[in-house]
Structure 1
Amino acid sequence: MKQFFLTMGGVFAGLLLFFVILPFIFLTMIIGAASSSSKQATVANTVLELDLRGGISDQASSNPFAAFSGSGLSVMKVVDTLAQAEKDDHVKVLLLRLPEGGVTPASADEIRQAIRRFRASGKPVIAHSQGFQPVGTVIDSYMIGASASELWMQNTANFQVTGFASNEVFLGRAFEKYGVRADFEQRYEYKNAVNEYTQSDFTGPHREAMTAWMTSIYTSALANAASDRKQTPAALKATIEAGPYSAQQALSLKLIDKIGQAEEAEAEARRRAGSNAEIVEFGDYASSQGSRDGSGASAIAIVGAEGDIVTGRGGGGGFGGGSSIHSDDTAKAIYDAIEDKDVKAIVFRVSSPGGSPEASEQILAAVRTARAAGKPVVVSMGSYAASGGYWISSEADWIVAQPSTLTGSIGVYGGKFVLAPALARFGVDMRGISVGGDYSDAFSPTEPFTTSQRAAFSASMDKTYDEFVQRVSTGRRLPVDRVREIARGRVWTGAQAKDLGLVDQLGGVTEAIGKARELARIPASQSVRFKRYPKAESPWEALSSVFGVSSEAAHALIAIGGVMSDPQAEAAMRAIEADRMRSRGAVVMADTPLQ
């Protein structure tokens, strides 16, 4: 009977594929081709418009269907495209549309650096804001705007950049009230990801660590904005913290340069670009240019990794735009780069809060192999490279991070939720049966750990923590005792991590590529190619992967919800993946309060 339903599910999925999805894809391709052929990407005087209001990921997705679920804008694409635009004689001006809320700090750092390189080519940048709202790290949105040649603001908008706040939800009291027991352990007191389940308020270490990294991010953003606005950090800090302000007040305090509607800023950008200037959207320009792959006999591999770290393969990733680092895929990407004789060094771009220690170790083993093969590995850290994200980075030849990257979190946690008492209050009885050894039902939600189970689980936690510490000690050439001292699960910013010896250099992917060239002994005068891994699947390969076996039909039908960017479907898939990781015991995962 089960096989019958699976077969029927496969038949249904096949019918859906051929009569709904394939025609949809063909139509999309035809429309896209007609659109691209009917309009030139650049004109003699082009204003390139970069709109950051729709959100931004760290890296472009390798999923061929990701375009259906979002804007497709990524930090790596912004850096790559602006590097091309600064050398393109057609592009005269960059027009920035700023978000009202915050931007992930490390992303803001890297975008600012790319904008400053664009300006250094002699081309102006006009930024327009419809207000700065106190949501997330709004100081970083302002920092991006401050890097422009001119910062405009709408007349009715408010300048509410007065600091940086973060809120946490604690479920400890609710769990206690409803009879849910969060039976977790952590290594050690700064491993705060578990606190949302076990506490009702910040613990001392939790508050200490968050205050420290928030202060580091805030101080860094203020210093950058002050430098770009030609003020001292102390003066800018005093001014913004005395706010909020109206647009007129912000102008009088020299926090912005002009007041005007978006259309007026566009008109000014066109005027500066020259006669018959046209505005070209960033995505259209990027598509017309392609990747900045360069030329030359020597190549540098750029391996991308964004999201939670899990074991296995991506399998096409469904139709949604969500990201995970699948250990088989990422390790294979590194091994492919090792086997390519043209590749002389690897830049490993990591943006991850962590995940499975087994998956992390598999990826780190590939990094070790690359180094043993004589191919230097330089890690470029994105928004996060914490916990498992640091594990996979720890033994690289060189680590580059943004000042505001969240990294470290060298620690581990794990456990389970005991749900039976809570369900019993509603007349639902949960019972379990097990065969085998005492540990066979250790992760049953019916009962807390027994004494022997807890001892065994605690020993496995200690083992994972010790292995993590040892890898950091080996990779960073630090004594084990020193690593234990600065670890304990604590999150650090890139700036703090550099002072501690966990990071070698502050910067972005541009600086990481420069270091990779140096380590590979590629002369600065010699051209270099970039090879990007993992290679994106074509839509046909992804469809084959998703629909190829009937046992995957149910998963495929769920994934189809991602075509329409169904947030409930995407949330369900993420929850399933997270639960799968937790059920394995230890997790090297950092809290991600900026997402």
Structure 2
Amino acid sequence: MNFIKNIASSTVGSIIGLLVAGTILIFIFVGALVGGIVGAITELEEAETEVYSGDANVLVMNLDANIVERGGVEPFALDFASLTPSPQMGLDQILDGLNRAAEDDKIKGIYLNISGVAAAPSTLEDIRDGIDAFRESGKWVVAWSETMSQGGYYLNSVADEVYLHPAGGMSLLGLRSQSMFYPGLMEKLGVDVTVLRGPNNKYKSAVEPLLRRNFSEANKEQLGALLGEFWTTISSDIAESRNIPVAQVDAVADNILVRLPADAVNQGLIDGMLYQDELDDLLESRLDSLELETISFSEYTLPETMFGLDMSEESMTELIVTLTDEGEDSDASDDESSPLGGEIAVVYAVGAIESGEGDATTIGSVTTAEALRKARLASDVKAVVLRVNSPGGSALASDVIWRETMLLKEAGKTLVVSMGDLAASGGYYISCAADRIFANPTTITGSIGVFGVITNVGGMYEKHLGVAFDEIATHSHAGKPDGVFSMSEFEIEAYNETISDIYYSFTSKVAEGRGMNAEQVEEVARGRVWSGNDALDIGLVDEIGNLETALNYTKTLIESPDAETVFLPEIGDPFEMLIEDLTGVKSSFDALALLGEDNSTFLEILSVKRMLESNDIYQTRLPFMLHFND
């Protein structure tokens, strides 16, 4: 099987290689570039760092940066189409910036200039709540844009006043899910697939595109419920902010009632139509006698976004000392029980789950287990908030992380889980032992099930390349599955027994963690995905709330309202990440932009390649990936 697996992996790798071949020249100037950056930063010892000076009174927020879960993990991506940095901003940085602005006496209001934003509903919820909290602090929010996508309007609608350009437009049409199915293609190629699924895992639909030509009834049921719950949240939030009935929002979507900006005014979705100069006059009028001074949100949050570092003089001096090797070696103790600097440790688990160390886009079992272990052994940490944003992945890697959550609890420390956009399958596996689980209304969770897929390419090689296969083995089942031809019924039965064992182990852990019996778990398992709201109703989560809600709950639980928080895993050295961005995987993402593809496409190709290269046949993974086009 390794031979065929390597062929398949190499094929995917070759595709990626062709896409990124042009990036090889980057190696030529990396040394000079890094040297120049180090030199420039060294000059900061003699020159004052110019960060936000505090003169502006209106924040301009457009959210045109790529939004990731945790800021500072990947400082920026290099856009090879324009040879300019493509900014990235963490959800945590956005919310921290909004909180800081609410307490900043010089900032009087926010001007939302959001045309569109590419993010999942749960992330949009968090940002919208953050803007609303700013507004509730007694400050004003005005939204204006030339055009507004559905996601852009959802965020803009929270403002006190919403305006469109007179010649602009907006979209509010509802939600749709569309998938491609591949049996016809596989028949033409001569490829067949061996599919393994946990017992009665009828909702575990990851394998459907390989077996069917349309959605199964079970998949229609879960996707319909999921989209319905998403739309309920979106439409009710819009209706509440705009003081109109939810039925009116539905009517707009059903009948395409907004075709011109004037239609949006008539439907109560916006307050009027303004040109840019008229908007400036409106903002000026909001400032009483002050002169309008704007600052972009990205510039205002520079202390939070510049490599995720504090840009204060003290912190920059420490960075310079590190980069120029002027400091002495640290004498820090190697004692694993050394304090981490806070009573609460927030451990981020973001991306697909895989064995090993992982990277900025995946959850490595080694790295995440080590972070949990550090928190468990640290003398000052009383509780851990595990922030999960994952579609799942390797069943083995999920179990390794789950074990560390159990050891944490056995050590007498509190474990709270905060779910982001996704905490499904393996993502739920690593969450289920928590003392309390928080999720957003539109979090995608559940998917308690297991599947395995083995692609058999022998027929393709015979049919199209004239390649023949023969073998000699000491035993009937040696080397199976091999990825060449399908397994026998006996072999499939044997592997299905393993799949069933993983499934029952998964459900028993859920039962133990959630205080449910086997029958109750089975009723909500079988691979079905649930929204956060539905998961609350069926007992898979305990409370609706975001990361801030989870942190506040944890502070109350440990009776320490002013508890300091530390974040794990630690963010790597920013300049090491910069070099990786320029020479490694991240550069490859942007090469796809030259072909008109976005980064998520490459991430999925890379995820397939990693699965092929791994020995993890068994996957506790979300049965689909939802792309929210904006």
In structure 2, what is the Cα distance between the partners aligned to 1:190 and 1:355? 17
Q: TM-score, normalised by structure 2?
A: 0.81
The residue aligned with 2:398 is 360
The residue aligned with 1:107 is 123
3-state SS of paired residue (2:564): strand
The residue aligned with 1:95 is 111
The residue aligned with 1:12 is none
The answer to whether structure 1 residue 587 and structure 2 residue 614 are counterparts is no
Residue 508 of structure 1 deviates from its aligned partner by 0.6
Aligned pair count reads 555
Are the aligned partners of 1:153 and 1:260 in contact in 2 as well (CA < 8 Å)?
yes
Residue 485 of structure 1 deviates from its aligned partner by 1.1
The residue aligned with 1:532 is 567
The residue aligned with 2:221 is 208
3-state SS of paired residue (1:305): strand
In structure 1, what is the Cα distance between the partners aligned to 2:394 and 2:445? 16
Letter in 1 for 2:193: A
Letter in 1 for 2:69: D
3-state SS of paired residue (1:91): coil
Q: 2:501 aligns with which of 463, 483, 491?
A: 463
Q: Deviation per CA, 1:409-433, whole angstroms, max 9, x where unpaired?
A: 0011112111121232322416365
In structure 1, what is the Cα distance between the partners aligned to 2:120 and 2:65? 13
The residue aligned with 2:328 is none
Q: Deviation per CA, 1:529-554, whole angstroms, max 9, x where unpaired?
A: 1101111111455589x7xxxxxxxx
Q: How does 1:209-224 map to 2 (within 5 A)?
A: 209-224=222-237
The answer to whether structure 1 residue 344 and structure 2 residue 382 are counterparts is yes
Q: 2:31 aligns with which of 11, 22, 26?
A: 22
Residue 161 of structure 1 deviates from its aligned partner by 0.6
The residue aligned with 2:176 is 165
In structure 2, what is the Cα distance between the partners aligned to 1:430 and 1:302? 55
The residue aligned with 2:246 is 233
3-state SS of paired residue (1:454): helix
Letter in 1 for 2:36: L
Are the aligned partners of 2:450 and 2:527 in contact in 1 as well (CA < 8 Å)?
yes
Question: Which of 434-443 and 53-62 deviates more?
Answer: 434-443
The residue aligned with 1:250 is 264
1:298/1:535 CA distance change after superposition, 3 Å:
closer
The residue aligned with 2:609 is 576
Q: 2:344 aligns with which of 286, 290, 300?
A: 300
Q: How does 1:478-517 map to 2 (within 5 A)?
A: 478-517=516-555
The residue aligned with 2:460 is 422
Q: Deviation per CA, 1:474-516, whole angstroms, max 9, x where unpaired?
A: 1111111111111110010000000000011111111010111
Unaligned runs of 5+ in 1: 1-14, 547-554
Question: Which of 411-420 and 153-162 deviates more?
Answer: 153-162
3-state SS of paired residue (1:212): helix
In structure 2, what is the Cα distance between the partners aligned to 1:267 and 1:536? 43
The answer to whether structure 1 residue 58 and structure 2 residue 58 are counterparts is no
The residue aligned with 2:3 is none
The residue aligned with 1:476 is 514
1:181/1:564 CA distance change after superposition, 3 Å:
closer
Are the aligned partners of 1:310 and 1:355 in contact in 2 as well (CA < 8 Å)?
yes
Unaligned runs of 5+ in 2: 1-23, 80-84, 311-339
Residue 33 of structure 1 deviates from its aligned partner by 8.8
1:341/1:281 CA distance change after superposition, 3 Å:
farther
In structure 2, what is the Cα distance between the partners aligned to 1:219 and 1:30? 53
1:219/1:191 CA distance change after superposition, 3 Å:
same
Residue 76 of structure 1 deviates from its aligned partner by 1.9
In structure 1, what is the Cα distance between the partners aligned to 2:59 and 2:550? 26
1:438/1:66 CA distance change after superposition, 3 Å:
farther
The residue aligned with 2:299 is 284
In structure 2, what is the Cα distance between the partners aligned to 1:30 and 1:49? 32
In structure 1, what is the Cα distance between the partners aligned to 2:88 and 2:427? 23
1:463/1:261 CA distance change after superposition, 3 Å:
farther
3-state SS of paired residue (2:369): helix
Q: Deviation per CA, 1:36-93, whole angstroms, max 9, x where unpaired?
A: 9564414333322222234422222524665877421222221122112211112222
Are the aligned partners of 2:26 and 2:582 in contact in 1 as well (CA < 8 Å)?
no
1:142/1:18 CA distance change after superposition, 3 Å:
closer
3-state SS of paired residue (1:72): strand
In structure 1, what is the Cα distance between the partners aligned to 2:570 and 2:249? 45
Letter in 1 for 2:133: R
In structure 1, what is the Cα distance between the partners aligned to 2:70 and 2:281? 32
Are the aligned partners of 2:344 and 2:384 in contact in 1 as well (CA < 8 Å)?
yes
Are the aligned partners of 1:404 and 1:494 in contact in 2 as well (CA < 8 Å)?
yes
Identity, % of aligned positions: 26
Are the aligned partners of 1:270 and 1:279 in contact in 2 as well (CA < 8 Å)?
no
Letter in 2 for 1:355: G
The answer to whether structure 1 residue 399 and structure 2 residue 410 are counterparts is no
Residue 334 of structure 1 deviates from its aligned partner by 1.4
In structure 1, what is the Cα distance between the partners aligned to 2:521 and 2:626? 24
In structure 1, what is the Cα distance between the partners aligned to 2:124 and 2:472? 51
Q: Deviation per CA, 1:455-489, whole angstroms, max 9, x where unpaired?
A: 11101110111111011101111111111111110
Residue 573 of structure 1 deviates from its aligned partner by 3.6
1:101/1:538 CA distance change after superposition, 3 Å:
closer
CA RMSD of aligned residues (A): 3.1
Residue 113 of structure 1 deviates from its aligned partner by 1.1
In structure 2, what is the Cα distance between the partners aligned to 1:77 and 1:19? 33
Are the aligned partners of 1:386 and 1:408 in contact in 2 as well (CA < 8 Å)?
yes
1:116/1:434 CA distance change after superposition, 3 Å:
farther
In structure 1, what is the Cα distance between the partners aligned to 2:506 and 2:251? 42
Residue 169 of structure 1 deviates from its aligned partner by 0.9
Letter in 2 for 1:226: A
Q: Deviation per CA, 1:328-377, whole angstroms, max 9, x where unpaired?
A: 11111111122222222111111011100111111111111221222211
Q: 1:146 aligns with which of 157, 165, 174?
A: 157
In structure 1, what is the Cα distance between the partners aligned to 2:43 and 2:262? 45
The residue aligned with 1:6 is none
Letter in 1 for 2:95: V
Letter in 2 for 1:421: G
The residue aligned with 1:323 is 361
Residue 178 of structure 1 deviates from its aligned partner by 2.8
Letter in 2 for 1:585: I
1:18/1:215 CA distance change after superposition, 3 Å:
closer
In structure 2, what is the Cα distance between the partners aligned to 1:556 and 1:497? 41
In structure 1, what is the Cα distance between the partners aligned to 2:426 and 2:72? 20
Are the aligned partners of 1:173 and 1:199 in contact in 2 as well (CA < 8 Å)?
no
Q: TM-score, normalised by structure 1?
A: 0.85
Residue 586 of structure 1 deviates from its aligned partner by 1.0
In structure 2, what is the Cα distance between the partners aligned to 1:370 and 1:434? 50
The answer to whether structure 1 residue 378 and structure 2 residue 416 are counterparts is yes
Are the aligned partners of 2:157 and 2:242 in contact in 1 as well (CA < 8 Å)?
yes
Residue 563 of structure 1 deviates from its aligned partner by 8.7
In structure 2, what is the Cα distance between the partners aligned to 1:85 and 1:533? 26
Q: How does 1:270-281 map to 2 (within 5 A)?
A: 271-273=285-287, 275-281=290-296
Letter in 1 for 2:185: A
1:369/1:209 CA distance change after superposition, 3 Å:
same
Are the aligned partners of 1:384 and 1:405 in contact in 2 as well (CA < 8 Å)?
yes
The residue aligned with 1:311 is 355
1:352/1:18 CA distance change after superposition, 3 Å:
closer
